[in-house]
Amino acid sequence: MNDFDLCIVFANAIDNAIKACRVVDKQNRYLKLSTKLEGGFFMIEIKNSYNLINNYTSGSGIGLLNIKEIAKKYQGL
Q: What integer pLDDT is reported at residue 42 of this predicted model?
A: 80
Q: To 10 degrees, what angle do helices 62-73 and 3-21 make? A: 150
pTM reported for the whole predicted model: 0.71
CB contact at 8 A, 46 and 13: yes
pLDDT tens for each residue of the chain, 77 residues long = 899 999 999 899 899 889 888 888 999 999 999 989 999 888 888 888 887 665 556 556 678 888 899 999 988 86
Q: What integer pLDDT is reported at residue 41 of this predicted model?
A: 82
Looking at the DSSP assignment, which residues form a beta bridge with residue 31? 48
Q: Where are the domains of the chain?
A: 3-73
* DSSP helix/strand/coil, 31: strand
Q: How many CB atoms lie within 10 A of CB 67?
A: 20
